[in-house]
Amino acid sequence: MAYTFNEDIFIVDCWLDTEEKEKTLLKLIDRLKIFNVPIILCGHYPVKPRIQKQVDYFIYDSNNDILLEKDFREYEVVSDRWTIMNDYKVFNKVDFHHDYAIWLTMKNAFNLAKQLGKKYIHFLEYDNLPDETQYRQSFMEYIRSHDAVVYEYMKGSTNEPQPYSSTYIFSIRTDIALSLINKINTKEEYFKNKPNGWQLERVFYQTLKTITNNVFVSKYIPNDNELNIYAAWNRNGILKNGAIFQTYLAVDNNNLYIHFISGFSEKPADKDYLCEVNYGNKRFFYTVKKGEYHLELLGDYIKNETVRVFYQGIEIFTQRLNEDLYDFRRKNILEWKNKQSNRRFNIHFVDGPFVEILDDLPYKYNVQFINKKNGNVVYQTILSSNQWCKPSFKYYIDWGIRIIGIDNDYNGYHEFNPKNNRFYISFESKSLGDTLAFIPYVEEFRKQRDCKVVCSTFHNELFEKEYPEIEFVNPGSQVNNIYGMYRLGLFYNGNQVDYERHPYNPLQEPLQKIASDILGLDYKEIIPNVPKLGGHKKKRVCIAIHSTAQCKYWNNPEGWQKVVDFIKSKGYEVRLLSREEDGYMGNKHPKGIKTQPPSSTKEVLKVLQESHFFIGISSGLSWLAWSSGIPVVLISGFTDVYLEPFENINRIINKNVCNSCWQTHKFDAGNWNWCPIHENTDRQFECSKEITPEEVIGKIEKLF
């Protein structure tokens, strides 16, 4: 049947002390307006006029009658949450309880609803964003045949010996609401003689049941993080993002600890939870084991720092340390019974080996990083508990790590073991040529180390199907749970090669060997796997004349035109694959060519695979042509012959003039006319000027 809601009113309780909370309230108001039902906004915190204008009525009660910590004993309230383990005790106290203040807010709003002649009240805390359709069906319609519709705080909570329900979302008949709220009129009536039931949720539900048994437990099924979004501290843990574990802070002397507790007091956890903890500059992951308790040292207590805990990327705990150490410790104290070492190690190989020693006791250790290939100690240092160290080398080394206690009897050895572990290999170069040169060695690393590899390149679309055992991600992606990480590229430290990232001079060896060196592999030339896209061969030759600096061009003024004329005399189409326009940086296209329209890398690859051969310079398109499997004629003087591949490459270089400056000088990408020896002289770019069209034609004659 269809329902109209002329006898209904919404009551929204709010505490808007942040912009995020204001935004959440406005979203809720927008959802409620679709029902065309009046809205009462109420609370003990001032609300901006622009927000008041979004509702029909606003009740502000400046008498925020909270119960302060100093009053807990007088009102028989036990506010501590405590944990007592074999070797420690943790006690946490709250500053106040706002339960009775919310009770008064309800009383104010319920009375206004009565004055307005409304029969049905729908109560919501501001931090609920329920689904409109399901909310109408589960609460607004069901209240027509019941005195109250409640929502269980935890599954089965309304059937416990001391039952309770949520107070952040419920519907109730106005006369029932007033009978309920008028049962309790003072703090004494609210708190005293209720040793098991002083929480608002228990007081509300148990009082409701003294008035009526016609109470329906709503079947509403919440989506993730849509109800009670800004839940306050409570003794049973806050259920956010499905994480059934608790986190509390405590202080021992000036050391701040985070206390993890699996499950809630009324709901045990059924699995482990991997969470991320942030405190100042400290970031780490911790697995809350099913059924376990654990203390983790965060470091010194630092006033105004914030502790945050994330589960699956969602922040589920946050606490700002806005008190002096003494005040915080008084309410969050850690007491040791028999303090013993709980030494743990955090060891990984992300951008080089990393060792962190975690312990509740202040011990010292000698940490040695050993190259197992020759037994040399590459780096060693003295490390105290709760400190970390790492050597500067970031390329592959078969590491052994020895840790020897100085003021304790610990003696341990950790071996680098890639097998079955997860590695992240990041391509730091966007260059197509570099990418094609490096990718085969990522696969070799995976196979030879028998490990799992996650890889990021700027050309993933070329490789995802060709290397199915590699997990490809976009550059800049966050990759978790990795044992090690390597970055592939050409790295400098100022004007010098960065030998902390390269074991050998990358300028003096083949481009592909840069990757095999960084990944610790024996070098052999490997053609990368690329998609097979081409169909039947066409009577076509492809060329690419442009690049990213003039030194890479074939600078013979007659070269390209004579070669194009020769190819066309054989009855072949000449297809220019370069994207740059005619005249780019003063470089004219030869006449008689067909220009490839704007195309994806895969479309260019298909054109190459359908062509007879390719002529190019030292650029990414030459690497793509080589990868496609067709013969390549490569014209270059600024790189030596060993930089590019040998197999299926017809290389043309003039060794009788200045050549191969790439191997001896740092390339200046900001200087288009970079020619480090002869710039601004008659000999500028002679390395390619002196390669004649006749030499190139002599090479390609054999390819028809």
Q: Which of 2-16, 145-159, 511-525 has the highest mean predicted lDDT (pLDDT)?
A: 511-525
Whether 301 and 360 share a structural domain: no
Active site residue 224: no
* 635 and 691 in a common domain: yes
Residue 75 identity: Y
Return the closest-CA partner of residue 149 out of 222, 214, 209. Answer: 214
Instruction: Compute the distance between CA of residue 296 and CA of residue 454 in angstroms, rounded to an integer.
Output: 30
404 bridge partner residues: 366, 411
Give the Cα separation of 683 and 451 in Å (integer).
51
Interval 163-192 mean pLDDT: 90
Least confident of 7-16, 242-251, 582-591: 242-251
CA distance 671 to 549: 8
Give me the phi and psi of 157, to 5 degrees please.
-65, -25
Same domain, 364 and 267: no
Considering only residues 591 and 97, tell me which one the structure prediction assigns the higher pLDDT. Answer: 591
- Stretch among 46-55, 330-339, 505-514, 532-541 having the lowest mean pLDDT: 330-339
C-beta separation of 312 from 241 below 8 A: yes
Kindly give the pairing relationship between strand 120-125 and strand 8-13: parallel
CA dihedral 434, 435, 436, 438 (to 10 degrees): 80
DSSP string, 391-420: -S--S---EEEEEEESSS--EEEEE---TT
pLDDT at 151: 94
Q: Is residue 86 part of a domain?
A: no
- pLDDT tens readout for residues 529-567: 999 998 889 999 999 999 989 999 999 999 999 999 999
Stretch 395-407: mean pLDDT: 92
Does 458 share its domain with 362? Answer: no
The CATH number of whichever domain residue 324 belongs to comes to 2.60.40
Q: One of 359, 434, 517, 640 is an active-site residue; which one?
A: 434
pLDDT of residue 196: 57
**Distance in angstroms (rounded) separating the CA atoms of residues 441 and 349:** 19
Residue 672's domain is classified under what CATH number? 3.40.50.2000
523 inside domain: no
Residues 599 and 510 in one domain: no
The yes-or-no verdict on residue 220 having pLDDT over 80 is yes
Q: Please work out, in degrees rounded to the nearest 5, the angle formed at the alpha carbon of residue 635 by the alpha carbons of 607 and 683.
A: 145
**How far is residue 3's CA from residue 232's CA, in Å, rounded to a whole number?**
35
- Phi, psi dihedrals of residue 125, rounded to the nearest 5°: -70, 155
Domain membership of residue 615 (yes or no) is yes
Most confident of 80-89, 194-203, 293-302, 452-461: 452-461
Q: Check which CATH number belongs to the domain holding 56 and give it.
A: 3.90.550.10
Whether the per-residue pLDDT at 506 is higher than 80: the answer is yes
Cα distances (Å, whole numbers) of residue 91 to 41, 60, 197, 301: 37, 36, 21, 17
Contacts of residue 570, Cβ cutoff 8 Å, sequence gap at least 6: 704
Counting beta carbons within 10 angstroms of the beta carbon of residue 598, is it exposed (0 to 12), middle (13 to 18) or buried (19 or more)?
Answer: exposed
Tokens of 197: 């039931």
Pick the more confident residue, 270 or 98: 270
Phi, psi of 253 (to 5 degrees): 55, -115
Provide the percentage of residues in the chain whose pLDDT is more than 70. 92
Could you tell me the strand order of the sheet in which 282-288 lies? 282-288, 273-279, 306-311, 314-320
Query: What's the one-letter identity of residue 189?
Result: E
Q: Is residue 186 part of a domain?
A: yes
Same domain, 188 and 257: no
Q: Residue-wise over 568-578: b if at least 16 C-beta within 10 A, else e?
A: beeebebbbbb
Assess contact for 295 and 88: CB atoms under 8 A. yes
* Structure tokens given for 490: 């050409």
Kindly report the pTM of this predicted structure: 0.53
d(Cα 613, Cα 574) in Å, to the nearest integer? 10
User: What CATH number has the domain bearing residue 381?
Assistant: 2.60.40.10
- Centre a 10 Å sphere on the Cβ of residue 266 and count the other Cβ atoms it contains: 15
Domain-ending residue, one of 297, 314, 336: 336
What distance in Å separates the CA atoms of residue 355 and residue 346, rounded to the nearest whole number?
A: 6
Task: Judge whether residue 197 has pLDDT over 80.
Answer: no
- If pLDDT is split at 50, 70 and 90, which confidence band does 647 have? confident
Q: What pLDDT score does 80 carry?
A: 60
pLDDT at residue 235 is higher than 60 = no
Same domain, 570 and 635: yes
Q: Is a pLDDT exceeding 70 seen at residue 668?
A: yes
Tokens 């061009």 belong to 553
Going by C-beta distance under 8 Å and a sequence separation of 6 or more, which residues neighbour residue 299? 255, 256, 279, 280, 282, 386
Chain-centroid distance of CA 164 in Å reads: 38
pLDDT, one tens digit per residue, over 292-348 is: 888 889 999 999 999 999 988 888 888 889 888 888 887 888 877 656 788 999 999
So what's the pLDDT on residue 599?
Answer: 93
pLDDT level of residue 95 (50, 70, 90 thresholds): low
* Residue 535 placed within a domain: no
Residue 457 and residue 318 share a domain: no
Number of domains in the chain: 5
* Residue for token pair 């003990």: 44
- Asked whether 173 and 110 are in contact (CB, 8 A), the reply is no
Please state, as a whole number, how many other Cβ atoms lie within 10 Å of the Cβ of residue 111: 16
At residue 407's C-alpha, the angle toward residues 404 and 412, to 5°, is 20
Residues 197 and 329 grouped into a single domain: no
Reply yes or no on whether the pLDDT at 195 is more than 60.
Answer: no
Reduced to 3 states (helix: H, G, I; strand: E, B; else coil), residue 39 is: strand
pLDDT of residue 120: 97
Q: What is the three-class DSSP state of 562?
A: helix
The whole-number pLDDT of residue 234 equals 43
Instruction: Concatenate the DSSP letters of all residues of 450-515 into one string.
Output: T-EEEEE-TTGGGTTTTSTTSEEE-TT----S-SEEEEES--EETTEE-TTT-SS-GGGS-HHHHH
For the cut 60, the answer to whether the pLDDT of residue 237 exceeds it is no
Same domain, 283 and 332: yes
348 plus 433 within the same structural domain: no
- The angle formed by the CA atoms of residues 256, 257 and 258, to the nearest 5 degrees, is 135
Select from 415, 442, 475 the last residue of a domain. 415
Same domain, yes or no: 293 and 351: no
Query: What is the residue whose two structure tokens read 């481009």?
Result: 511
φ/ψ of 87, rounded to 5, equals -120, 5
Q: Characterise 681 by phi-psi region: left (phi > 0), alpha (psi -120 to 50), beta (else).
A: beta
Domain stop point among 336, 355, 383: 336
pLDDT of residue 340: 73
Residues 6+ apart with CB under 8 A from 240: 225, 231, 311, 314, 316
Domain that holds residue 464: 422-518
Amino acid (1-letter code) at residue 657: V
Residue 222 in any domain: the answer is no
More confident site: 617 or 101:
617
Please check whether residue 636 is in contact with residue 552, taking contact to mean a CB–CB distance below 8 angstroms: yes
| Residue 58 belongs to a domain | yes
CB contact at 8 A, 394 and 486: yes
Q: What is the mean pLDDT of residues 6-16?
A: 94
pLDDT at 173 exceeding the cut of 70: yes
Element (H, E) at 248: strand 245-252
- Whether residue 231 lies inside any domain: the answer is no
